[in-house]
Amino acid sequence: MPFLELETNLPAGQLPPGLAQDLCAAAADILGKPAERVNVTVRSGLPMVLSGSGEPCAQLVVSSIGVVGSAEQNQRHSARFFDFLTAQLGLGTERIVIRFYPLEPWQIGKNRTVMTFL
């Protein structure tokens, strides 16, 4: 059950229509998870500074069970997420940062229990 949080200082009007849905589909493909299990939040127009600069930028946080737990996995994921984000947002790779967080099944609640028991 991946969770993606995209934050950017780009105004909402500069984001492509359907960005959240497109990010969901891309994440499902990149992480090898069904789209029905992917959760995406997009926040725009935020006051942000990346590498000391307030120029247009974005930050993606990817949290998931079992697919973001190693440097090798995240290196592959990073390349593909960067390809998606640079194309969609029109930003250079130096203006995007990605953080990966591995999750355990007991850390995600769903249907009145946790994923451990589903």
pLDDT at 76: 97
pLDDT digits (tens, 9 = 90+) for 17-51: 999 999 999 999 999 999 999 999 999 999 999 99
Q: Spot the catalytic one: 2, 16, 56, 102.
A: 2
pLDDT at 21: 98
CATH topology of domain 2-117: Macrophage Migration Inhibitory Factor (3.30.429)
pLDDT at 75: 98
Whole-model pTM: value is 0.95
Measured CA to CA in angstroms, residue 31 lies from 14, 34, 62, 114, 116 at distances of 27, 9, 10, 21, 20
Which residue stretches of the chain have pLDDT < 50? none
Q: Where are the alpha helices (DSSP H) in 32-95?
A: 71-89
2 catalytically annotated:
yes
- 111 three-state secondary structure: coil
Residue that is written with structure tokens 């069904």 in the block: 34
Rama region for 51: left / alpha / beta (φ>0; ψ in -120 to 50; rest): left
pLDDT at 56: 98
